[in-house]
Chain A
Amino acid sequence: MIKESASPKTLVDKIWDSHVVRAESASTPAVLYVDLHLVHEVTSPQAFAELRNRRIRVRRPDLTLATMDHSTPTTPRSSGRLQVLDPQASAQLDQLETNCAEFGIRLFGLDDSRQGIVHVIGPEQGLTQPGMTIVCGDSHTSTHGAFGALAFGIGTSEVGYVLATQTLLQRKPRNMELRIDGVLPVGVTAKDIILAIIAKIGIGGATGKVLEYTGSAIRSLSMEERMTICNMSIEAGARAGLIAPDNTTVEYLAGRPFAPKDADWNASLARWDKLASDEGARYEQSVHLDAASLAPMITFGTNPSMAIPIDGRVPDPAAAPSSAERTDLDKALRYMALEPGQPLLGRAVEVVFVGSCTNSRISDLRQAAAVMRGRHVAPGVRMLVVPGSRKVKSQAEAEGLDRVFVEAGAEWREAGCSMCIAMNGDQLQPGESAVSTSNRNFEGRQGKGGRTFLASPLTAAATAVTGAIADVRSLS
Chain B
Amino acid sequence: MEPFTTLTSRCVVLPAENVDTDQIIPARFLKTIERRGLGAHLFADWRLDDQGRARPEFPLNSPHARRGGASILVAGHNFGCGSSREHAPWALLDFGFRAIISTGFADIFRNNALKNGLLPVTLLQPAHARLLELLAASPVAPVTIDLDAQTVTLQDGTAHSFPVDPFARHCLLNGVDELGFLLGEEKAIAAYESAHPARVCTR
Contact = CB atoms under 8 A, between A and B. Distances in A.
Nearest to A86: B31
A423 B202 CA distance: 28
A420 B112 CA distance: 23
User: Among B182, B185, B186, which residue has the most Cβ atoms of chain A within 10 A?
Assistant: B182
Contacts of A127: 200, 202
Contacts of B98: none
A333 interface: no
Contact of B33 (A33, A95, A160): A95
A238 B193 CA distance: 29
A92 B200 contact: no
Contacts of A169: 167, 178, 181-182
Interface stretch (A1-9, A132-140, A221-229, A349-357): A132-140
Contacts of B199: 35-36, 129, 131-132
A161 interface: yes
A194 B17 CA distance: 22
Interface string B17-29: 1101011001110
Interface stretch (A40-48, A75-83, A178-186): A40-48
Interface stretch (A59-67, A212-220, A366-374): A59-67
B82 interface: yes
A21 B112 contact: no
Given A155-B115, A237-B106, A331-B16, A89 B200 contact: no
B116 interface: yes
B39 interface: no
Interface string B66-106: 00000000001110011111100100000000000000101
Given A237-B78, A303-B18, A46 B182 contact: no
B45 interface: yes
B34 interface: yes
A129 B27 contact: no
A266 interface: no
B146 interface: no
A171 interface: yes
B32 interface: yes
Contact of A91 (B33, B77, B179, B201): B33
B33 A328 contact: no
Nearest to B88: A155
Interface in B8-50: 15-18, 20, 22-23, 26-28, 30-35, 45
A158 B179 CA distance: 9
Given A62-B201, A132-B199, A22 B33 contact: no
Contacts of B35: 46
Given A129-B200, A155-B86, A160 B189 contact: no
A31 B189 contact: yes
Contacts of A398: none
Nearest to A445: B22
A63 B202 contact: yes
A92 to B, nearest CB: 5
A350 B180 CA distance: 51
A158 B114 CA distance: 11
Contacts of A62: 198, 201-203
A324 B17 contact: yes
Given A42-B30, A153-B108, A204-B106, A161 B200 contact: no
A339 B189 CA distance: 57
Contact of B166 (A27, A56, A324): A27
A131 B196 CA distance: 13
Contacts of A154: 84, 108, 111
Nearest to A304: B82
A442 B200 contact: no
Contact of A440 (B18, B30, B82, B107): B82
Given A35-B198, A153-B108, A324-B77, A440 B165 contact: no
Contacts of B198: 35, 60, 62-63
Nearest to A170: B111
Interface in B166-203: 166-167, 170, 177-179, 181-183, 185-186, 188-189, 192-193, 196, 198-203
A237 B107 contact: yes
Nearest to A440: B82
A21 B192 CA distance: 6
The 3 closest A-B pairs by CB, nearest first: A155-B112, A155-B86, A45-B33
11 contacts: A21-B185, A63-B198, A132-B199, A139-B83, A157-B177, A161-B182, A164-B182, A440-B22, A440-B83, A444-B22, A444-B26
Interface of B: 15-18, 20, 22-23, 26-28, 30-35, 45, 76-78, 81-86, 89, 104, 106-108, 111-112, 115-116, 165-167, 170, 177-179, 181-183, 185-186, 188-189, 192-193, 196, 198-203
